[in-house]
Structure 1
């Protein structure tokens, strides 16, 4: 297939050009789109004809294909390689311990550090060493939207910041973010990503146990960890009567949150928000807890 290289932000501008082959779809890779070219017009390169992918689920972090769940068969890995041509295919078996360190295996090619772009932000990470919350994309953007809809300069605590996938979009939307992370490798990437996105003046980083580093009073608290409810008591001395706490969990724990908040002297209003299916019959839930 003959194609021209076009930045994705110019796809709309070139869609009506006479050289565009409208019978085929562009192939998008990061911020680059390879737009099919009609016969007789100049082109930049030829790429293999692409067909709809119907194989094992995966996602791209930079130029590395990442697979979760059961270990994929060799033919499934080969299918990903043929379709996406990644630098490598990395299987993440699980996340280990309080630092959420990935247990991984490189199934094809090589892995290591990548540069990943998402919603206009840049993230450096090594997916073999640190967690990236790829499946929470809509939730990350929801947090950014809530910040934009809040009073300017709101102070936000991100208690399990990782490499910055919540902290950076919130800071980019106008919040003053206190980002805490216990994994030293992730914390180093967090600091690097804050600088890469030009947000050094909007994000304060604390490396270590978030329960120790909480300080002052926050307008919003993001608790992006499935065991968040067990750490909720540490939060109540750092919020006020209009603060909002976003408590992540597997399954609905709003009853426990209600009891803990009332025990701390607050009257909570809890809205349960489904993020994604975690496993059969279980959901990744976020409880939006508005205090009064």
Structure 2
């Protein structure tokens, strides 16, 4: 694995750099991080592939979360020895449009946690609501892209994954969420981050609640193409729509934009790996 060695304290600031391979995780040890490099970019060290390394997991507060296939007892025991968590969860998938986690408690106890990320604070219960640390670089990228005073619609806000950092970056955010449990955490996280003056939460379907015109619209849901028409109806020339998906939908996006009277430029970037031979994409759509 070709990588650049940096201080681990720099991970947040370099997450949006063009040379970072977003499909692979950095290796962190003793205050340093070896950050995977995209093909064709300069690198410092060529690390051996570490097939025998411990399986990856998320750390949310004092809980550990395994995703995908059920971890073995040895993998769970190893994670417990390394991290001493309050509990260990296995999340198989997220179900339906409300993205409800399907979880099993493998060790200890679970419940609410306070998770800190890039200066933002999030309360959540990972047995009830979704949270993905794999989107950290995308959150940082959008936070760097917004201008103070921008009007932003977060059409699938969840607990505030994007709304909170965008509000902290100076945007005025309308955050829409369909899941009542996620919505309660959204409101709590707005208060936790003292964003009552810049982020507003709305409970219900964004397609019926959204109103007005926005500079930037975020559709952070894999069924987001079904909401793209609603986003276009509340955009203007120069607006940017960030549409998440599991496949490149550029042709469909261009057709829908043209039907709404816009030209569009679409750029596609990888957010992270999603599964075997699949990646999580974001399509940046600039309307003309």
Q: TM-score, normalised by structure 2?
A: 0.82
Among 162, 171, 177, which residue is 1:175 paired with?
171
Cα distance in 1 for residues equivalent to 2:156 and 2:211: 15
- Structure 1 position 26, deviation (Å): 6.1
Residue 120 of structure 1 is matched in structure 2 by 119
Q: 1:139 and 1:161 mapped to 2: Cα distance?
A: 14
Match in the other structure for 1:260: 256
- 1:221 maps to which residue? 217
2:275 is the counterpart of 1:270: no
Q: Give runs of aligned pairs for residues 1-292 of structure 1, distance below 5 A.
A: 25=30, 54-147=53-146, 150=147, 152-292=148-288
Distance in 1 between residues matched to 2:186 and 2:261, nearest whole Å: 34
1:4 corresponding residue in structure 2:
none
Q: Counterpart of 1:287 in 2: which secondary structure?
A: strand
C-alpha distance in 2, partners of 1:226/1:26?
35
The structural deviation recorded for 1:180 is 0.4
Query: How far did residue 57 of structure 1 move?
Result: 1.1
Secondary structure class of the residue paired with 1:235? helix
Alpha-carbon distance between aligned partners in 1 of 2:84 and 2:53, rounded to the nearest angstrom: 16
Deviation track 1:78-109 (CA, whole Å, cap 9, x = no partner) reads 01001111101011011111110101000001
Give the TM-score normalised by structure 1.
0.81
Shift of 1:25: 3.2
Higher relative contact order (CA 8 A, sep 6+): 2
- Give the drift of 1:281: 2.3
Q: Secondary structure at the match of 1:94?
A: strand
Which of 1 and 2 has greater Rg?
A: 1
Q: 1:281 to 1:26 in 2, by over 3 A?
A: closer
Deviations 1:186-230 (A, max 9, x none): 100000001010101001110111111111000000000011112
Runs of 5+ unmatched residues, structure 1: 1-7, 10-23, 28-52
In the alignment, the residues of structure 2 paired with residue 279 and residue 165 of structure 1 have an alpha-carbon distance, to the nearest angstrom, of 21
> Who is 1:16 aligned against?
none
Deviation at 1:280, TM superposition (A): 2.5
Cα offset for 1:257?
A: 0.4
Aligned to 1:32: none
Which consecutive segments of 4 or more residues in structure 1 shift more than 6 A? none
Give, in whole Å, the separation in 1 of the partners of 2:105 and 2:66: 10
Question: Could you tell me how far apart the structure 2 residues matched to 1:81 and 1:281 are?
Answer: 30
Structure 1 distance, partners of 2:31, 2:152, is 40
Listed one character per residue, the Cα deviations across residues 229-270 of structure 1 (whole Å, up to 9, x for unaligned) are 122111221110110000000011111101110111100011
Could you tell me which runs of 5 or more consecutive residues in structure 2 were left unpaired when the two chains were aligned: 1-7, 10-28, 33-51
